[in-house]
Structure 1
């Protein structure tokens, strides 16, 4: 089987990546921190105007009619720049959920932020700047106006993740639907894709520094100790990336195999990202632990995403479920059709 992205998928990913790399530099991140702003309004407007928020929304509802696999490269690019804005969450989770449930998806396409509160995450991200919240209650989806909830800020390891505890009262008037569909699995895959981008950025920063930093008259990158560290981290990223892409492609199956794919992707990607971040710090030496070196932005986001949409323990349990529910082996473990009956 030949798997490759189409020209259209590659084109939209490249356009989004170019825009994000150009507009979201570490200097921009530092500027936002200094100003205390949650995100950059001009960049968010550009994201909206490019139509990125509607990638996973059907044509008939004003979107591009694509799916998670078409968003996966953009999610990786968002991770590569440690994007503060909730592009991935709005485009990959909120918009398709509202579109499926007949909710006000047009508000998301116009740039309004909807926060998601689900038991898979202990806190609700971006709730303070949201126009409304999608909240979980006994398996139901509730759409709640921002002024109908009370927020309590929770500090995050990542300064760009604005997390909150939400106090609210469910009612029949707020109830939107009975189930969340594949939102959790989508969250896992998209968090994994961001982790791939974060890990790649850490490796790229380590390589750039190893070329410039000289010791004993030579770039430190010429020493085998540095080469092996960076190569090991790069291999981890290269092995995790196709796992994430396969998980995104198989999400629509909705069976035990696709759920295990999503969990496996999250495990592989976050472990690779953490290794890459630790490697980048080590290559930078003692200064890698300082605020002045930009590596910490990406290290913090990678660690924060490790428990987003489920913990490593929960993901491992999902993978074990697949291994015990259907046949395994070279011809079966990665064949979703084998697990269809067990789905």
Structure 2
């Protein structure tokens, strides 16, 4: 499998990275942290104008029709910039699931235009992110993935829904919960009725994959922060980055990050192509990304010294997001059990004759 990023993919990711670096700075994160609601209509509109909500929406429904691998690369950029808006849940998880279900062109078009936001609910997670701002909810009932509508859609969207499966007219409100990440808005699960649009496993795999991608981006961001600090912080008359111990800590973390990236890309391709072993590859990616982000976080704290724990240092925004995403959509133990069951159970043969076939 060729993991080389194409020229088009590199251009896309660099464009998104440059845009987010200009408008979603640490100063913006601090402003959001003290604002009411911790959300910005201007930031969401900027993401819409960049075309991010429509990345994985089919062209026939008004989107760009890109692949899940493209979505993973953009999810990493969202993690790198610390974006908390529900763009990943709506555009990179819900959109491909709804596209695969069929009959949801009106909703997909509303997603692409930024009018619709989809919240995600799964028994594995005891919370629902950004439920209060969602127009729709994807939830699980009896192992089926159900779509419910929270508020009446705009007239054109409402009328066109008659051509396909129509969601339930609403669902109950969830109780706000506290998160270790102050920029995440999470709510208690809610009771919902809707129309079937897929399987519970499909939601879990897509959400775990996108979470893993964000964790890789978060790890890259913490690496950049730590490297810059090591260059500028002087001890004994020289930058601490010149000390061998600091270099070795950073190098170890970099290896974990770089090893996680091809695992993540393989999982994206496998899930996008509907591979029989896609779920195992997704679990591998979630573990690799989680381990890389945690290792980088621990290293970042060591590089920053006692300052790394303080609110005054920007590092804490990415560390808290790392903690939140690591436990979401299956923690490390859950995904290890899935891999163990496949390998020990014999459904996924291992060894060079199989791995590199």
TM-score, reference length from structure 2: 0.88
Task: Trace 1:189-208 onto structure 2 (pairs within 5 A).
Answer: 189-208=209-228
Contact 1:16 1:74 in 2 (8 A): yes
Q: Does 1:36 align with 2:16?
A: no
**Deviation at residue 218 of structure 1 after TM alignment:** 0.9
Q: Does 1:271 align with 2:294?
A: no
**Deviation at residue 43 of structure 1 after TM alignment:** 1.9
Structure 1 residues not aligned, in runs of 5+: 336-343
Of residues 183, 186, 209, the one that matches 1:163 is 186
Cα deviation 1:254-302 (Å, max 9, x = unaligned): 3442211110000001111011011111111111111101111111111
Cα separation, 2, equivalents of 1:310 and 1:257: 17
Cα separation, 2, equivalents of 1:3 and 1:292: 38
Structure 2 residues not aligned, in runs of 5+: 152-169
Partner of 1:107: 110
Task: Trace 1:118-133 onto structure 2 (pairs within 5 A).
Answer: 118-133=122-137
**Deviation at residue 175 of structure 1 after TM alignment:** 2.2
**Deviation at residue 127 of structure 1 after TM alignment:** 0.3
Partner of 2:311: 291
Compare 95-104 and 66-75 and name the one that shifted more. 95-104
Q: Does 1:60 align with 2:60?
A: yes
> What is the DSSP-based 3-state SS (H/G/I as helix, E as strand, rest coil) of the residue aligned with 2:120?
strand
Change (3 A) 1:326 1:35: closer
Cα separation, 2, equivalents of 1:255 and 1:120: 23
Partner of 2:161: none
Change (3 A) 1:134 1:168: same
> What is the DSSP-based 3-state SS (H/G/I as helix, E as strand, rest coil) of the residue aligned with 2:56?
coil
Q: Does 1:145 align with 2:167?
A: no
Cα deviation 1:305-330 (Å, max 9, x = unaligned): 11211121221122123312132112
Contact 1:256 1:322 in 2 (8 A): no
> What is the DSSP-based 3-state SS (H/G/I as helix, E as strand, rest coil) of the residue aligned with 1:168?
coil
**Deviation at residue 63 of structure 1 after TM alignment:** 1.1
Equivalences, count: 332
Partner of 1:309: 329
Contact 2:209 2:267 in 1 (8 A): yes
Change (3 A) 1:106 1:2: closer
Cα separation, 2, equivalents of 1:292 and 1:187: 32
Of residues 210, 221, 225, the one that matches 2:230 is 210
Partner of 2:121: 117
Cα deviation 1:41-67 (Å, max 9, x = unaligned): 112112112221111111111111112
TM-score, reference length from structure 1: 0.92
Contact 1:44 1:85 in 2 (8 A): yes
Partner of 1:339: none
Partner of 2:353: 331
**Deviation at residue 110 of structure 1 after TM alignment:** 2.3
Q: Does 1:186 align with 2:206?
A: yes
Contact 1:32 1:39 in 2 (8 A): yes
Contact 2:122 2:200 in 1 (8 A): no
**Deviation at residue 169 of structure 1 after TM alignment:** 4.6
Alpha-carbon RMSD across the aligned residues, in angstroms, is 1.7
> What is the DSSP-based 3-state SS (H/G/I as helix, E as strand, rest coil) of the residue aligned with 1:135?
strand
**Deviation at residue 181 of structure 1 after TM alignment:** 6.4
Cα separation, 1, equivalents of 2:3 and 2:189: 42
Contact 1:206 1:280 in 2 (8 A): yes
Contact 2:79 2:217 in 1 (8 A): yes
Partner of 2:78: 78
Contact 2:147 2:197 in 1 (8 A): yes
**Deviation at residue 40 of structure 1 after TM alignment:** 2.1
> What is the DSSP-based 3-state SS (H/G/I as helix, E as strand, rest coil) of the residue aligned with 2:188?
strand
Cα separation, 1, equivalents of 2:198 and 2:54: 23
**Deviation at residue 180 of structure 1 after TM alignment:** 4.5
Contact 2:176 2:187 in 1 (8 A): yes
